[in-house]
Amino acid sequence: MKILVSDPLSEEGLAILRDSGIPVDVKPGLSEDELCAIIGDYDGLVIRSGTKVTKKVIEASNHLRVIGRAGVGVDNVDIPAATEKGVLVMNTPSANILSAAEHTCAMILAAARNIPQAHESMHKGEWKRSKFSGIELNGKTLGIIGVGRVGGEVARRLKHFNMSLVGYDPFLPPEVAADIGVRLTTLEEVIQVADIMTIHTPLLPETRNMISMPQFKMMKPSAILVNVARGGIVNEDDLYTALKEKVIAGAAFDVWCEEPLCENEKKLLELENLVTTPHLGASTAEAQERVAVEIAESVIKYLRDNEIVNAINAPRGKLDPITAQYLPLAERLGMAAAQLNGQRPIDNLEVSFNGELADKNTRMLNLSILIGIMKSMVGQGNANIVNVEALAKSKGIVVKESKNSNAVVYDSTIGVRIETKGDVFDLVGTIVAHEPRLVGINGFRFEIPMAGGMLLARYRDTPGIIGKVGKVLGDNGVNIAMMSVGRDAPMGTAVMALSVDNPISADVLKLVDEASGFEDSKYIYIE
Ligand code: 9EZ
Nearest atom within ligand 1 for CA of residue 169? 10
The total of other beta-carbon atoms located within 10 Å of residue 411's CB is 13
Q: Distance between CA atoms of 427 and 419, rounded to whole angstroms?
A: 11
Sheet containing 66-69: give its strands across.
Answer: 24-26, 3-5, 44-47, 66-69, 88-90
- Residue 181's pLDDT is 97
SS3 of 127, please? coil
* Domains in the chain: boundaries: 3-93+286-313, 97-276, 317-448, 451-527
**97-276 has the same fold as 3-93+286-313:** yes
Q: Distance between CA atoms of 222 and 194, rounded to whole angstroms?
A: 9
- Residue 278's pLDDT is 97
Is 168 a pocket residue for ligand 1 (Cβ < 6 Å)? yes
Pocket test of ligand 1: the residue of 203, 207, 233 to mutate, having most ligand atoms within 8 Å of its CB, is 207
196-199 and 224-227 strand pairing: parallel
Is 169 a pocket residue for ligand 1 (Cβ < 6 Å)? yes
Is 201 a pocket residue for ligand 1 (Cβ < 6 Å)? yes
Sheet containing 183-184: give its strands across.
Answer: 183-184, 164-168, 141-145, 196-199, 224-227, 250-253, 274-276
- Residue 407's pLDDT is 79
Nearest atom within ligand 1 for CA of residue 187? 13
User: How far, in Å, from the CA of 392 to the mean position of ligand 1?
Assistant: 32
Is 145 a pocket residue for ligand 1 (Cβ < 6 Å)? yes
Reading the chain (527 residues) residue by residue, the pLDDT tens digits are 999 999 999 999 999 999 999 999 999 999 999 999 999 999 999 999 999 999 999 999 999 999 999 999 898 999 999 999 999 999 999 999 999 999 999 999 999 999 999 999 999 999 999 999 999 999 999 999 999 999 999 999 999 999 999 999 999 999 999 999 999 999 999 999 999 999 999 999 999 999 999 999 999 999 999 999 999 999 999 999 999 999 999 999 999 999 999 999 999 999 999 999 999 999 999 999 999 999 999 999 999 998 899 999 998 878 899 999 999 999 999 999 999 999 999 999 999 999 999 999 999 999 999 999 999 998 888 899 999 999 999 999 999 999 999 878 899 999 999 999 889 999 999 999 999 999 999 999 999 999 999 999 999 999 999 999 999 999 999 999 999 999 999 999 999 999 999 999 999 999 999 999 999 899 999 98
Is 198 a pocket residue for ligand 1 (Cβ < 6 Å)? no
Domain 451-527 homologous superfamily, CATH: ACT domain (3.30.70.260)
Question: CATH fold of 3-93+286-313, please?
Answer: Rossmann fold (3.40.50)
Nearest CA to ligand 1 atom 10: 146
Q: CA angle, corner 414, sides to 302 and 364, nearest 5?
A: 30
In this prediction the pTM is 0.81
Q: Is 230 a catalytic residue?
A: yes
Is 80 a pocket residue for ligand 1 (Cβ < 6 Å)? no
User: How far, in Å, from the CA of 315 to the mean position of ligand 1?
Assistant: 20
SS in 3 state form for 205-245? CCCCCCECHHHHHHCCCCCEEEECCCCCCECHHHHHHHHHC
- Residue 43's pLDDT is 98
Alpha helices of 306-346 — where are they, by DSSP H?
321-341
Q: Is 120 a catalytic residue?
A: no
Domain formed by 317-448, architecture: 2-Layer Sandwich (3.30)
Conformation bin of residue 217: beta by default, left when phi > 0, alpha when psi is -120 to 50:
alpha
Domain 97-276 homologous superfamily, CATH: NAD(P)-binding Rossmann-like Domain (3.40.50.720)
User: Is the Cα torsion angle 56, 57, 59, 60 positive or negative in sign?
Assistant: positive
User: How far, in Å, from the CA of 145 to the mean position of ligand 1?
Assistant: 8
- At a CB cut-off of 8 Å and minimum separation 6, what does 405 contact? 354, 355, 356, 358, 359
Q: Which of 426, 462, 464, 430 has the alpha carbon at shortest distance from 448?
A: 430
SS3 of 409, please? coil
Q: Is 183 a catalytic residue?
A: no
444-449 and 435-441 strand pairing: antiparallel
- Residue 256's pLDDT is 97
Q: Distance between CA atoms of 480 and 472, rounded to whole angstroms?
A: 11
Pocket test of ligand 1: the residue of 94, 97, 166, 171 to mutate, having most ligand atoms within 8 Å of its CB, is 171
- Residue 101's pLDDT is 98
The total of other beta-carbon atoms located within 10 Å of residue 174's CB is 10
Q: Distance between CA atoms of 391 and 374, rounded to whole angstroms?
A: 8
Q: Which of 279, 290, 437, 487 is catalytic?
A: 279
b/e map 175-197, b = 16+ CB within 10 Å: eebeebebebeebeebbbbbbbb
- At a CB cut-off of 8 Å and minimum separation 6, what does 173 contact? none
- At a CB cut-off of 8 Å and minimum separation 6, what does 490 contact? 461
- Residue 380's pLDDT is 87
User: How far, in Å, from the CA of 211 to the mean position of ligand 1?
Assistant: 13
- The DSSP element (H or E) to which 355 belongs, if any, is strand 348-355
DSSP 437-462: EEEEETTEEEEEE-SEEEEEEEEE--
- The CA distances from residue 300 to 67, 93, 433, in Å, are 11, 17, 30
What are residue 420's phi and psi, to 5 degrees? -135, 155
Q: Which of 59, 259, 419, 447 is catalytic?
A: 259
- Residue 306's pLDDT is 87
Is 171 a pocket residue for ligand 1 (Cβ < 6 Å)? yes
